Structure 1
Amino acid sequence: MKQKRLMLLGGLRYLLPVIEEAHKLGVHVITADYLPDNIAHKYSDEYCNVSIIDKEAVLKAAQELQIDGILSHAVDPGVISAAYVAEEMGLPFQCSYEAACILQDKSRFREFLTENGFNCPHARGYSNVEDALKDIDFFTWPVIVKPVDSAGSKGVTKVESPQDLSKAIETALSSSISQKIIIEDFLEKDGFSVGSESFVINGQLVYNGFYDQYFDNESINPYTPSAEVWPSIMQVKYQKEVKSELQRLFSLLHITTGLFNVECRVCKNGKVYLMEVSPRAGGNRLAEMLNYAADVNLNAAETRKAVGLPVGDIHEPNYKGHFAILVLHSEKKGIFDGISINSDFRKNHIIEEEIRVSQGDNVDFFTGANAAIGTLFLKFDTRKELAEALANQKEWLEIRVNR
């Protein structure tokens, strides 16, 4: 029997659990990007040097390598290429190439939501400052300015008044692969912004790992999550509405089988909004944490799907406590000198510790998820204990950065 071959776009450590699951299945793993020193390439069976945003180049490499599956797992820039290759080669993927293009472009996604009667803020896409400034009266201020095609809150700015709009547009354009941005009304949330790792089987939404997002208001980019917490305390009625709207979206887009990263919120007007729905795993190791927190292995299911194997038993998560991913980051730019954690806290609450930088490395302000120093996986018996630990991090955690 021919050994199955799986191509993974990207090379970050987010791919390591998928490589592990693939190897358990006896699958040959090929990692692909243009950075041969990335960590995932040390664990894969083969490396392919190709730009993951060049869909035609990825397709050519995939055909030459005779792959049986492709994923852009937690790697947002490669999703479009993965969908394109899957469609051209007849391989499993969450959705069609056209659906992926809609979901991955914030401007097109907002248009689709509006056309199909979903709750959606006023929003328009632009490719230059001049056109955007002509539409100042279209929006209800303040507004949010974003690249249409970046993840991790890179290039995102809240703008309170029109005179500050030009600078925000330039910031967003500089973070956009396609040189396109979206401006939309700022939606005042009621409670937490909420995300979910959601799994679909044959078009039916069967799993939703809802989590609450925490933000560091003192960081240079207060829109990048600094922690994710499970289970979410979003009211059940709103969770049901999110699931219903997601199912409607998936039906309209003819979604098949696979993992989606979802961001949503309940706003002060009492309405539920789908903010982002991407056909990939979320960053910050969300699927990994859910393997600790609940009783479904999402990474295993997504890996099996990618190579055409049955995904196994997927059901709504049964949580084993209260969990958080804390994104370690610096409030200043400087030289990393290490971290210290209270020994009792480490013993009682830390499941896993991951540090991505070494002593003496340069670290930057927390401008986006790509500027994280690392992550801590935390577990508590109660939500109250967890919330207190996040609110009082300086009592048990020290991150040393020298100027």
Structure 2
Amino acid sequence: MVKNKGDMCLQGKKLLILGGTSFQIPGILYAKMAGYYVITCDHTPENPGHQYADEYINLRTTDLKGVLNVSRKLAIDGVLAFASDSAAPTAAYVAEKMGLPGNPYKSVKILSEKDLYRNFLLMNQFKTPKYGGYNTLEDFSNYSTEFTYPVLVKPVGSSGSKGISMVNDLWEMGNAIDYAMNFSRSKRFIVEEYIEKKYPQLDGDIFVYNGKIAAYYPGDQKNDIEVNQFAPSSINYPSLLPEKLHEKIKLELQRLIHLLKIKLGGFKTEVIIDGNDQVYLMEIGAYNGGNWISEIIKCARNVDMVKMSVDASMGAEPEIQSQKEMDKYYTIYVIHSSKDGKFRSVKLHDSIKDYVLEIKMMVEEGEDVFRFCGSNCALGIGLLEFPNPDTRDQIMNKIGELIAVELE
């Protein structure tokens, strides 16, 4: 079903944005401002982003052939999966089939499916945890003696730390597999060894143009250990990792980009450094990160990842801005609940108000909320600014009290 809001912009170039959640809104708004005719597509008409588009397609973003057929009928000029992991392969598929700006579908598929990605890393001599990909508990049982516990069980084809469990022995494996399969689009899971981190896990975006890293903006990930040790509850910018390790990370990222023949776009990155200062490229996604990471990068560095991503997807050369020196410290805080219930409100303590740039809520009063098991359970995002790391640490150590979620 296609809903058309009018023909005022029909003479402009057409951009298909896959997804219409609140995370896609920055891309939609910039594309409109740039004069593009914006078409949004997903299977959730009530998503808030669609109201800003010129046209809406009610179709699953994972339907490769369906989205391609519609794209051909609409004669689109560009396609973008902004802040959407599940839509990234579709965007690559459509771009490849239609000769539009994008990246090789095969490469994006590798990045999007954890077992394929781990195999790619292994075959190309990147550091990677020992792993195996499986379909059932019985499949894994045949190889269980090859692993030393604890291990991590993860769904294939899922992001946002959804469906991840740490398992300490074989008896816990069944429940962990069931949990992972609830979030696995391909109905496969991987088991991998647990890597002890020397530093906080890096979480941020890079931007690639003409096959080269043009922008690199990682932050230091933090977790609410009492609620979920895997889902990031905040990301601090800039990363305080030693610069020599950032240079090492960039070299490995560039090598991956070269091997996969990546051409352009924003990429979400998650990187671990182990006790021997070895780099593990844990997750690389062919999409800009969610949680308004692009907005905090713009605040911190005056670099517009949204603009660059939209322009590149439309074949326009992106303006790679000179980054400003950071004289303040920034944090993305994922507002979340430690239990299930119905949302009432979020209350800001007076002591934090001076540090809040913006609070973006994604739920309304009376809506069901769930214990924070992954990014899908986020209630909102707080964009915070601090004068120095000490103040930031003092505030963030008690952030759950200062940005307090109240349930009915």
TM-score by length of 2: 0.95
Question: What is the aligned partner in structure 2 of residue 49 from structure 1?
Answer: 58
1:241 pairs with one of 241, 248, 252: 248
The residue correspondences of 1:146-295 to structure 2 (distance < 5 A) are: 146-219=154-227, 221-295=228-302
Q: CA deviation at 1:139?
A: 1.6
2:388 pairs with one of 367, 382, 385: 382
Q: CA deviation at 1:196?
A: 2.4
What SS class does the counterpart of residue 11 from structure 1 fall into?
Answer: coil
Moved more, 226-235 or 334-343: 334-343
Listed as ranges, the gaps of 5+ residues in structure 2 are 1-9
Question: What is the aligned partner in structure 2 of residue 14 from structure 1?
Answer: 23
Question: What is the aligned partner in structure 2 of residue 325 from structure 1?
Answer: 332
Contact 1:122 / 1:184 at 8 angstroms: preserved in 2?
A: yes
Contact 1:145 / 1:158 at 8 angstroms: preserved in 2?
A: yes
Contact 2:361 / 2:381 at 8 angstroms: preserved in 1?
A: yes
What SS class does the counterpart of residue 207 from structure 1 fall into?
Answer: strand
Contact 1:28 / 1:45 at 8 angstroms: preserved in 2?
A: yes
Question: What is the aligned partner in structure 2 of residue 365 from structure 1?
Answer: 371
Please give the per-residue CA displacement for 1:57-97, whole angstroms capped at 9, x wherever unaligned. Answer: 1101111111111111111111111110000001111x200
Q: CA deviation at 1:206?
A: 1.9
Contact 1:295 / 1:318 at 8 angstroms: preserved in 2?
A: no
2: CA distance, partners of 1:272 / 1:8: 33
Q: What code does the residue aligned with 1:67 have?
A: I
Do residues 86 (structure 1) and 92 (structure 2) align? no
2:78 pairs with one of 63, 69, 79: 69
Q: CA deviation at 1:388?
A: 1.2
Q: What code does the residue aligned with 1:366 have?
A: F
2: CA distance, partners of 1:112 / 1:207: 24
2:39 pairs with one of 30, 40, 53: 30
What SS class does the counterpart of residue 205 from structure 2 fall into?
Answer: strand
1: CA distance, partners of 2:400 / 2:191: 36
After superposing on structure 2, the runs of 4+ consecutive aligned residues of structure 1 that deviate more than 4 Å are 314-317
Quickly say closer, same or farther: Cα 1:55–1:394, change in 2 above 3 A: closer
2:150 pairs with one of 117, 142, 148: 142
Quickly say closer, same or farther: Cα 1:320–1:67, change in 2 above 3 A: farther
Question: What is the aligned partner in structure 1 of residue 357 from structure 2?
Answer: 351
RMSD (CA atoms): 1.3
The residue correspondences of 1:293-312 to structure 2 (distance < 5 A) are: 293-312=300-319
Q: CA deviation at 1:317?
A: 6.1
1: CA distance, partners of 2:130 / 2:323: 33
Q: What code does the residue aligned with 1:152 have?
A: G
Question: What is the aligned partner in structure 1 of residue 7 from structure 2?
Answer: none
Contact 1:207 / 1:314 at 8 angstroms: preserved in 2?
A: no
Question: Number of matched residues?
Answer: 399
Q: What code does the residue aligned with 1:161 have?
A: D
Q: CA deviation at 1:250?
A: 0.6
2: CA distance, partners of 1:155 / 1:101: 20
Quickly say closer, same or farther: Cα 1:302–1:394, change in 2 above 3 A: closer
What SS class does the counterpart of residue 212 from structure 1 fall into?
Answer: strand
TM-score by length of 1: 0.96
What SS class does the counterpart of residue 385 from structure 1 fall into?
Answer: helix
Q: CA deviation at 1:397?
A: 2.6
Do residues 391 (structure 1) and 400 (structure 2) align? no
Q: CA deviation at 1:140?
A: 2.4
Q: CA deviation at 1:392?
A: 1.4
2: CA distance, partners of 1:227 / 1:217: 12
Q: CA deviation at 1:268?
A: 2.0
Q: CA deviation at 1:327?
A: 0.5
1: CA distance, partners of 2:111 / 2:269: 11
Please give the per-residue CA displacement for 1:123-154, whole angstroms capped at 9, x wherever unaligned. Answer: 11111111011111112221111011001111
Please give the per-residue CA displacement for 1:139-187, whole angstroms capped at 9, x wherever unaligned. Answer: 2221111011001111110111111112111111121011011111011
Quickly say closer, same or farther: Cα 1:261–1:72, change in 2 above 3 A: same
1: CA distance, partners of 2:158 / 2:248: 27
Quickly say closer, same or farther: Cα 1:317–1:77, change in 2 above 3 A: farther
Contact 1:198 / 1:260 at 8 angstroms: preserved in 2?
A: yes
